[in-house]
Amino acid sequence: MTKLIAALRDGLGEGGVLTGDDAAPWSRDWTGQYRWTPLCVVRPRSTAEVSEVLRLCHAAGQPVVPVSGNTGLSGGTSGAGAVMLSMGRMNRIREVRAEARLAVVEAGVILSSLHDAAEAQGLMFPLTFGARGSAMVGGFLGTNAGGSNVLRYGNTRDLVLGVEVVLADGRVMNLMSELHKDNSGLNLRHLVIGAEGTLGVITAAVLKLVPKPAAYATAMVAVPSLDAALGLLNDLQRATGGAVEAFEYMPRTYLDAYRARFPDTRPPFDTDYETTVLVEVGATAPRDAAPDAEGRVPVAVHLEQVLAERLEAGAVLDAIVAQNDGQRAEMWARREAAGEVCLTRQPMVNNDVAVPLDKVSVFLDRAGARLARLDPGAVPVVVAHLGDGNVHYAVWPTCDDAALADAIMEAVEDEVLALGGSFSAEHGIGLTKRPSMARRKDRVALEAMRAVKAALDPKGILNPGKVFPG
């Protein structure tokens, strides 16, 4: 492989290829669960350079693992002996077109930088999650990321108009459409989004932007049950015309773990409640966002009225509406620290699942009962995007035992699939969920997926060992 590394250096120039200690930052994932030694790390600056890298690797039969911000939770960037293809230097925001409400960006653009560029035009790219300060476009397209605003704006696939993809042999597939309607054949854009770099390397994208809300109304709400929470969500959607942006579930066990990790923070209420949700409503219309003569923002007043009505009916136990940006940020900090909170203890079994909205409470009850039988001392650490049915069901088992971890994973999957859900919601498959794919994915669907993989990557060099079960 010395010749290949030399050829890659010839193609990418000084600093374009890293080996040895210089490759260390690309030798582990964010969780620390997966560690490896790559052959080298390549850092292209252009699509042409990505094409050259893949052409050379394809000719040599050399595995290639694309990596962006490396903030994934499923081992999708593990690359022992692979050429790690880092997108970090392809970080240009090529243009933001406010009138068309789109942005053309490269795969190495950090999500928070895209947020800033859109905001400068009075717009917003509505995908958001805790790792937005390091996650990159290529990564969140590769996993079809979700985040907190799926309820109103959809998953990543719903926010993409076009992509540019380099195939395994180095050919460039130009799908950089700016169209909202295009029925010219198979939707290859949606095929590569969510494929975790196994079908091609996304190098650029055309992304949808939306009007940035002129005002937010954000609240922490305690409710008697998850069923009451769902009733509150439906009331708020009716009252706001579908303007609920986030509806995030944080039970008492999670808030206790959060305070243990961040002991200087304040609890959301003076009383500890079992079931709390973070609610956020975004207002774009001036009539809902402009303060009145007393300085009250109509969207916040409206939220307070709905909460007061539910409080009187007994469907809400307590509520605090943020009165300023600082209070809003404090509320969001609790939710966005979930990844860090879950990793404060090891071992940890990480489940990212989805069930129908009205089945979340049933799933949690059933999964809790199964967990108690499997490992009576295990602690579930749960948060959920309650508005779209995505539950992050992390578990701290009582011992580091691979068989127990697999049994917990299987038990959770049993309950999810019995309710018509999915064993993977937004974190991707990577390595972690490959056994789940083998156990749970429809056989015919797996055959079709393998056929697509074989057609686009016949040598199997793109992110090998991921997504597809052995």
DSSP string, 304-334: HHHHHHHHHTTS-SEEEE--SHHHHHHHHHH
Name which of 145, 136, 53, 54 is nearest 88 in CA terms: 136
Percentage of the residues of the chain whose pLDDT score is greater than 90: 95
Domains 93-211 and 215-338 share a fold: no
pLDDT reading at 123 higher than 80: yes
Question: Which strand (E) or helix (H) includes residue 162?
Answer: strand 160-166
Average pLDDT over residues 68-86: 95
Q: What is the pLDDT of residues 244-287, one digit of tens each?
A: 999 999 999 999 999 999 999 999 999 999 999 999 999 999 98
Per-residue pLDDT of 211-233, as tens digits, reads: 999 999 999 999 999 999 999 99
Could you report the per-residue pLDDT of 436-463, keeping only the tens digit for each?
Answer: 999 999 999 999 999 999 999 999 999 9
Model pLDDT, residue 106: 98
CATH 3.30.70.2190 is the classification of domain 215-338: yes
Could you name the CATH architecture of 345-428? 2-Layer Sandwich (3.30)
Radius of gyration of the chain measured on its C-alpha atoms:
23
368 vs 332: CA distance, rounded Å? 26
Maximum Cα interatomic distance, the chain, rounded to a whole number of Å: 74
Distance CA 348, CA 182 (A): 44
Coil, strand or helix at 112: helix
Residue 404: the pLDDT is: 97
Read off the pLDDT of residues 304-335 as tens digits, 9 standing for 90 and up.
999 999 999 999 999 999 999 999 999 999 99
Edge-to-edge strand ranges of the sheet holding 17-18: 17-18, 40-42, 83-86, 64-67
Residue 432 has pLDDT above 90, yes or no: yes
* Cα–chain center distance at 379: 24
Q: How many CA atoms lie within 13 A of 79 on its CB side?
A: 31
Domain chopping of the chain, boundaries: 2-86, 93-211, 215-338, 345-428
Architecture of the domain whose range is 93-211: 2-Layer Sandwich (3.30)
Q: What pLDDT sits at residue 124?
A: 98
- Cα of first residue to Cα of last residue in the chain, in angstroms, is 26
Q: How confident is the model at residue 122 (pLDDT cuts 50, 70, 90)?
A: very high
The percentage of the chain sitting over the pLDDT mark of 70, rounded to a whole number, equals 100
pLDDT at position 170 is 98
Q: How far apart are CA 302 and CA 148, in angstroms?
A: 22
CATH of domain 2-86: 3.30.43.10
Q: What is the pLDDT of residues 11-66, one digit of tens each?
A: 999 899 999 999 999 999 988 889 999 999 999 999 999 999 999 999 999 999 99
* E strand spans, 323-377: 352-354
Average pLDDT rounded to a whole number, residues 361-380: 97
Alpha carbon 366 to chain centroid distance?
A: 25
Which pLDDT belongs to residue 61? 98
Q: What are phi and psi of 4, to 5 degrees?
A: -65, -45
Q: Average pLDDT, whole number, for the chain?
A: 96
pTM for the model stands at 0.95
Residue 295: per-residue pLDDT: 81
Backbone angles phi, psi at 222, to 5 degrees: -100, 130
